[in-house]
Structures are given as C-alpha cells and as structure tokens.
Homo-oligomer: A and B are copies of this chain.
Amino acid sequence: MRITDIRERTVPLDGNIANALISFAEHTVSMVAVVTDEMRNGKPVVGYAFDSIGRFAQGGILRERILLRLRSAKPASLLTPDGKRFDPAKVLATAMRNEKPGGHGDRAAAAGAVELAFWDLNAKLDDEPAYATIARHHGRPAVAASADVYAAGGYYYPPGSTQTLHDELASYRDLGFDAFKMKIGGASLSHDLARIEEALSVAGSGEHLAVDANGRFGLDEAMSYVEAISPYALRWFEEVGDPLDFDLNRRVAEAYAGPIATGENLFSVPDVTNLVRFGGMRRGRDLFQMDPGLAYGLTEYVRMLTVLEQHGFNRAQAYPHGGHLINLHVAVGLGLGGCEAYPGVFQPFGGYPAGCALGGGKVRPTDAPGFGLEEKPELRQVIAELRC
C-alpha cells in the first residue's frame, strides 16, 4: 500500500463576522487529500482533512516542506509494521523532518491537516467511522456515542441592527442547542454586561452560557470582568488574556471561582505543558480547548492529553476548539468532555450534517466511513475538485 498523491487546496471561509480582536473575513483553511493505491468499489481510497477554522491555510508550508518530505518517503516507512494501515505518528515524524524545536505556529496547522487526513484514510480502509478507529487505536471501546456540544457565536450587532444577540441565540436554541457561547471584550464592560443579560434571557441560566474574550484582556481589565461577571455563575470564561500569558491565567484562576477555558491558541505539547505548569489551571474545573487540526494533528493532541492526565486533569476537561466533524469524531473517539459548534457560520467547514441528529445539546457522528466529510453538502465541491 502506498500514497499515489497528496493534494492541498486553500478554501476561503464564508461569513463576514468579527470577534473581539479579529475579523474572520480573510481567514482561509487548507483542505488536504491523500490518495492511495488501495481500491474500494473500483475507486482509490482517499483520506481528507483540513486544518480547522479560525486561522489560515498553509499552502506554502505544505507545498515547500511537508508534502515534499512525505512524497520522498519510502512507502513502507509510513505504515504500521504489518503494512496494512498508515501510522499517523510516522507520518507526522516524516512531515516534520529537519524542522527545529520551538516556533509552533503555522507549520503546526499544515502538519495537522495532513496527519488528520491519515486518520480519515485509516478509518476508510476499515470501512468504519473515524471515532471507532481513533478509539480502538487508543485502547478505548469503539462505541457510538453523542458528544456534548455548545453553540459558539454571540457576536456584536450594531444598535438598531435587524438581528440581535437574543435572536441569534434563540435560533441556535431552535436548532437543538442548550448551551451557548458569546463574545465579550469588544465593547465596554457595561455594554458587555447588558449583552450577557440579553443572552441569559435565552440561555436561562449562567450554566448554559459561556463568554469568550478571545485573548483580549490585560490583567486590570481581566480583573474588572472577573468581578463583574462572577455573580452570573457562567458556564466558563474563555481566553481571558494572551494565550501565552500563563501568569495572567494563573491570577485569573486564583480570583475567579467559575471555570476558565483556554488552549485553542496553543499548538504543541511544550506550550500545553507550560500552561499546566504555570497557568494555574484547576483540576476538575477548568477547560482545555486545544484543536488537533491547528496543532500537528491527533498524534500530538493525544500527547497533550497525556500531559494533562499526568498532571491530574481529566479528559472530560478537554473541549476542542473548532466546531466541525473532525473534532466531533475526536471528542467521541477519545471520550472528551465535548466539542464546539458554530451553527451556520464558517462554511463550508463549520457545523454538522443533518444525519448527526443534533438535539438536547448533543450531537452524534453518523456511521459514514472516516470523518464523514463527504456527507456535508457544503464540502462537496472542494472534495470533488481534490478528487480529480
């Protein structure tokens, strides 16, 4: 068995929305296809994945570094000892050959897209959903399960806009969500408090509503928000300060009784280890949101989970950032706390196809082989282009 081609394509994201810090209008995603010489129903088995939502496509790093290394690798060097499946850890090591330590940024997303495509591929070789392949590989029962999911959104609307934050969250509730996340930090504290009250009128109570500052706050502003939002007993307070400001994170954790959440902008085991060592994260309470597609893929993500568990955290505290099918399979396969969803935005990648039966705040992968990306109508065109 060998790879006959690896293709990549840059796909723009639909939707012109802004969080506290960043406009997503420019953001792009790298979609990767790994084509093999294994045939099923007369067609070659192809593994697909992408590098997740929220940063950028990595065509340059893929074409100039990572895909060159994989194309020049001996076919057997990427396989399990029996030669029947690909070994994602070997794929990652090959993809990273001659890369220096440190500097875990864009290349982590490039490598993540590629490594995840091999999980899609392995699952298709076994004609099973990816969560089952992931579970078995990690010594877990390969059983169908739902994942806890929440609707991330809660954007800013100008006064007098025809849409309101209330309407937005109500539309998610009507889809079957019972937990929500909204942006804060893009307006004054008093305006944000009014928005939280507006959101609570849909969410019902604080335990159904998380807030996300997208890394915006310095220490003083963080502490003002800590004091002001504490009475709401919110689901969690996300990315309070710069993702690498572990000292700020520790101080917030010491001052804020409710859960805090961070990690979506940490892309390596060394960075997550520093969060655990220095960031004051609390066992059984705070949440880790690392995203495999942005962080070298599932192999590195599982190493991160190991670091967490070695430090006394539980994998129920892991809620990957992203809001798409790949991380749904990861969450089910690894038995994580849950995952994100972005209803209606970040197309063609965001959200879940109809078969995933969203309801009661849970979503369930279908039995489609691999990550089931082929079931998502919005992805059909890009998959068709990559297949040719």
Q: List residues of A whose CB falls within 8 A of some B CB.
A: 10, 21-23, 25-28, 54-61, 63-65, 98-108, 214-215, 242-247, 265-268, 270-271, 273-274, 277-278, 294
Contacts and interface: CB of A to CB of B under 8 A. Distances in A.
A124 to B, nearest CB: 29
A268 B105 CA distance: 11
A363 B265 CA distance: 41
A59 B64 contact: yes
B108 A103 contact: yes
B270 A242 contact: yes
Contact of A266 (B25, B102, B277, B278): B102
A108 to B, nearest CB: 7
A244 B267 contact: no
Contact of A105 (B65, B104, B274, B277): B104
Contact of A265 (B57, B102, B245): B102
A64 B63 CA distance: 14
15 contacts: A22-B100, A25-B98, A28-B64, A60-B64, A100-B265, A102-B267, A103-B104, A104-B244, A105-B105, A106-B106, A244-B273, A244-B274, A245-B270, A246-B274, A246-B277
Contacts of A101: 21, 215, 242-244, 265
Contacts of A103: 55, 104-106, 108, 265, 267, 294
Given A244-B102, A265-B101, A270-B244, A65 B61 contact: no
Contacts of A278: 246, 274, 277-278
Nearest to A28: B64
A64 B29 CA distance: 12
A265 to B, nearest CB: 3
Main secondary structure of the interface of A (DSSP, over half): loop
Nearest to A268: B244
A100 B268 contact: no
A102 B274 contact: no
Nearest to A262: B102
Interface centre among A98, A102, A108, A278 (most CB of B within 10 A): A102
A244 B65 CA distance: 23
Contact of A63 (B60, B61, B65, B215): B60
Contacts of A245: 270, 273
Contacts of A105: 102-108, 267
B100 A215 contact: yes
A107 B265 CA distance: 14
A98 B26 CA distance: 8
Interface centre among A26, A60, A63, A246 (most CB of B within 10 A): A60
B64 A10 contact: yes
Contacts of A56: 61, 64-65
Contact of A22 (B26, B98, B108): B98
B267 A55 contact: no
Contact of A61 (B10, B26, B106): B106
A17 to B, nearest CB: 12
Nearest to A54: B100
A23 B69 CA distance: 13
